[in-house]
């Protein structure tokens, strides 16, 4: 299923030392993603296995060291703990952003599991 044009990032802001990633989407909506939530819900097979829900895994204190586009559909992060295999689709990030806005970071963390998209 193609990603809607307005659900693609237009601007990413994650300065060194920050604890949140800010994404401005093509439709103008801005979302703040705490690094703890992004790393804790890393969707990669190393962290989550190959199917089922995405579980929160305690990340400790982490920062984004590098941020790269993956094709035309996702972002990849290199974390301060050395982890770098997660691919976060724009669809996943947009859905996670909606949860963060509705429930806050603490509420999303306490959910413990999220569906795969």
- Domain 5-109 fold is NE0471 N-terminal domain-like (3.30.2020)
Per-residue pLDDT of 38-59, as tens digits, reads 999 999 888 898 878 899 999 9
Q: Given this model, what pLDDT does residue 49 score? A: 84
Structure confidence at residue 7 as a pLDDT band (50, 70, 90): confident
pLDDT tens digit sequence for 57-99 = 999 888 999 999 999 999 999 999 999 988 999 999 999 999 9
List pLDDT tens digits, range 16-40: 888 999 999 999 999 999 999 999 9
What distance in Å separates the CA atoms of residue 98 and residue 115, rounded to the nearest whole number?
13
How far apart CA 9 and CA 5 sit, in angstroms, is 9
The angle subtended at Cα 27 by Cα 20 and Cα 43, nearest 5°, is: 45
What's the rounded Cα separation, in Å, for the pair 102 and 57?
21
**Per-domain residue ranges for the chain?**
5-109
Q: Which residues contact 115 (CB under 8 A, 6 or more apart)?
A: 53, 54
Q: Is this prediction's pTM over 0.85?
A: yes
């Amino acid at each position: 299923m193609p990603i809607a044009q307005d659900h693609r990032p237009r601007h990413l802001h994650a300065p060194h030392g920050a604890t949140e990633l800010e994404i401005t989407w093509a439709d103008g909506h801005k979302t703040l993603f705490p690094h703890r939530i992004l790393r804790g819900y890393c969707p990669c097979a190393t962290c989550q296995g190959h199917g089922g829900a995405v579980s929160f895994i305690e990340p400790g204190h982490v920062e984004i060291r590098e941020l790269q586009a993956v094709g035309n559909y996702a972002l990849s992060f290199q974390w301060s703990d050395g982890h770098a295999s997660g691919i976060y689709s724009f669809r996943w990030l947009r859905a996670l952003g909606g949860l963060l806005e509705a429930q806050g970071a603490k509420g999303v963390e306490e959910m413990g599991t999220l569906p795969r998209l």
